[in-house]
Amino acid sequence: MNTMTYKGYTARIDYVERDNIFAGRILDIRAIISFHGDTVDQLRAEFELSIKDYLADCKDQGIHPDKPASGKMLLRVPPEIHGRALVAAQAAGKSLNQWATEVLEQAVQPTG
């Protein structure tokens, strides 16, 4: 997946062959915000403008903008996976939170 980031917000970037453009969609907010550009520079400018417009609209409406991930995550997993994760964390001498953070960090590392 190709992404761009600006002010902590992330957008997924795709090439749309049919239209010969780059298209982006902001991922980490409830609003559906997309943008496009013919070049990477134009795409980046449109992305930044989209974020600025989103933040300005939120301010004008008196609402708090969605923030990129808060750092709090609630997961529901089967009890047997929970138990095995606890054992793995304890075997590593870590809390489940520390262990899970490391596992998630490894899983989201960009590839090659």
Smallest CA-to-CA distance from 65 within 25, 29, 27, 11 is with 29
Per-residue pLDDT of 77-89, as tens digits, reads: 999 999 999 999 9
Q: What is the predicted pLDDT for the residue at 37?
A: 96
Per-residue pLDDT of 19-29, as tens digits, reads: 999 999 999 88
Domain residue spans of the chain: 2-61, 73-112
For the chain, give the mean pLDDT.
Answer: 91
How far is CA 102 from each of CA 54, 67, 94, 110, rounded to the nearest angstrom? 33, 23, 10, 15
Per-residue pLDDT of 43-65, as tens digits, reads: 999 999 999 999 999 999 999 99
